[in-house]
Amino acid sequence: MDDPKNEDPKYLKNYIKEHPTNKMAWYLLGRQYAAKGEEGKANYCFAQAGEVYRAFENSAAFTNPLEDEEPAEETADRTEQTVNGRPARWRKIAVVLLLLLLGSHIPFQDDRFERSAAEVAAGDRLGQDAQNPAVETGGSAESAAGGKFGVVYTRPGGGSGSGSSRTNQIADMLNRLYSRSQEKAESLLLADPTWSGDGRWLLWTARTKPIVTAQRPDHAAPDAKLTYYDAAACQCEPADAAAPSAQYVKWQNDELQKLIVRSSAAAYEQQNGKPPEQIEQMAQNYPDNLMTGYTAVMKREFEVWLAERKNGQSATSGGEPQPGQPSGTAPAAANPGNGELLPASEALKEPLRIMVDITTHRLAVVSGNVLLRSYPVGLGGDRTPEGEFQISEKVRNPNGRDNGTFGSRGMTLSDTLYAIHGTNQPSSIGQDKSLGCIRMLKPDVEELFDMVPIGTKVTIGRDLPLPDETLRAAEPLKLPSVSDETNPNKVYKWLD
């Protein structure tokens, strides 16, 4: 028999191009690459071969990166025996015979399937970082529903138009899943979010497309399991995306609540010179109602934040703006087109801020490059002040009822006569009919009131780099009220 190192894999490449779901062909191509010592390419092919590879090899190509099971010498000996020795040749013969018996003839043709340098590098990276994951292309996503769930986003321009970019993204996601330095999620979802046209904003409530989940390996299943929801990413019949989509919506809601806690804790520390010791300190009666209330998710997050704070670690959110970014300014556009991922922990790193664009009558709630909400508002044209403010007071039913001139909620701006409040004139939204205040529809102002704490920074200006469209959640955020946030002893005289 010829030395497998001298065999040309070109005909297999061509065959796989025309039959991308033939796992046996992927396995044979991987064996040829392994014989030539091209381990990165081999392991990429073995990952595509999935259960065919495991059936014939009866062992993993890589040790689990979470474990140190065997010394290097023993691994090297085994590789020599299975690649260059007689058992590997006989196994290859058996595979070819089985392939022919199955009626899958592989034509010997000239090269018509040369991978680009980027694709080769992607394959090498997947082989090195992914540690030969098992691939699941159909069925339920319930395996990803248990345990801790994390999300990594693609940046604008990456992945959708290039197979090699997508491969790089999946390899990067797997590397994050395996990394000991990362927060240990049981599974990670790679998702294509909707970005604004200029690539500046990740639109939080807009359509997000699930691509693939990777489930962390364990002793029972030593390989990471990939479940694809996008046919283009795997050239396969994808799994139903209903389960990960529902899980993503729940995850989004939890992440927003966590961000509220971290933003509120940072605001409390800014005002009092020390961090809060209990979450109840931030949800007291007016005027100390820094935030409206809290859920079980928020209470757990506060305990995490406090532990990090006491251990001298910087909290994952709630700090000052990133270096080089002045307070109140819009973040720069995200780096486009390089397939780089944006972990959710980095996306929601900064405290909540409000931006009001006088030109477009738009109020946006943002965190870093993430645009969480965008509401239409009524303004006063030149009478609405421009500049930097902060929410200095939050009051429920400022007129003593929820249908007064100022609606059901009001938030004073920097102890002035200007405020963000509701209105009993909903037709004025989108127009310049106020005396300078910012009017909002009842459901919008009530959600904003629950979302942003006292101390939230507010930027008011013209032609701010905000999208024109309205962005609301399918179900508005509503926190349980745990305190009395009314102020019946004051008659508010905001410049409506």
Q: What does the pLDDT look like over 397-406, one tens digit per residue?
A: 999 999 999 9
Q: Is 361 among the catalytic positions? A: no
Confidence of residue 313 (pLDDT cuts 50, 70, 90): low
pLDDT of residue 41: 74
Active site residue 219: no
pTM above 0.75, yes or no: no
And the tokens for 72? Answer: 């290097």
Residues in the chain: 496
The stretch 209-221 carries a mean pLDDT of 82
pLDDT at 232: 87
Q: What pLDDT, on the 0 to 100 scale, is given for residue 328?
A: 46
pLDDT at 466: 96
Read off the pLDDT of each residue in 199-216 and give the average, rounded to a whole number.
Answer: 93
Q: Please name the amino acid found at residue 69.
A: E
Looking at per-residue pLDDT, the higher value among 258 and 105 belongs to: 258
pLDDT at 163 (0 to 100) = 60
pLDDT given for residue 325 in this prediction: 39
Q: What is the pLDDT of residue 496?
A: 84
Handedness of CA 327, 409, 416, 466 (dihedral sign): positive
Distance separating alpha carbons of residues 25 and 345, to the nearest angstrom: 39
3-state secondary structure of 339: coil
Per-residue confidence band for 345, with pLDDT thresholds at 50, 70 and 90: confident
Instruction: Using the predicted structure, report yes or no on whether residue 271 has a pLDDT greater than 50.
Output: yes
Q: Identify whether the C-beta of residue 421 lies closer than 8 Å to the C-beta of residue 438.
A: yes
- pLDDT, tens digit (0-9, with 9 covering 90-100), for 139-171: 333 333 345 889 999 998 765 555 668 888 888
**Catalytic choice (45, 234, 361, 437):** 437
Lowest mean pLDDT among 166-170, 199-203, 272-276, 304-308: 166-170
Binned at pLDDT 50, 70 and 90, residue 339 comes out as: very low
Active-site pick, 45, 234, 361, 421? 421
Residue type, 423: T
Q: Which domains does the chain have, with CATH numbers?
A: 4-129 (no CATH), 134-240 (no CATH), 249-310 (no CATH), 349-461 (2.40.440.10)
Q: What does the pLDDT read at residue 11?
A: 63
Query: If DSSP states are collapsed to H, E and C, what string results for 232-294?
Result: HHHCCCCCCCHHHHHHHHHHHHHHHHHHHHHHHHHHHHHHHCCCCCCHHHHCCCCCCCCCCCC
Higher pLDDT, 2 or 276: 276
- Mean pLDDT over the full length of the chain: 77
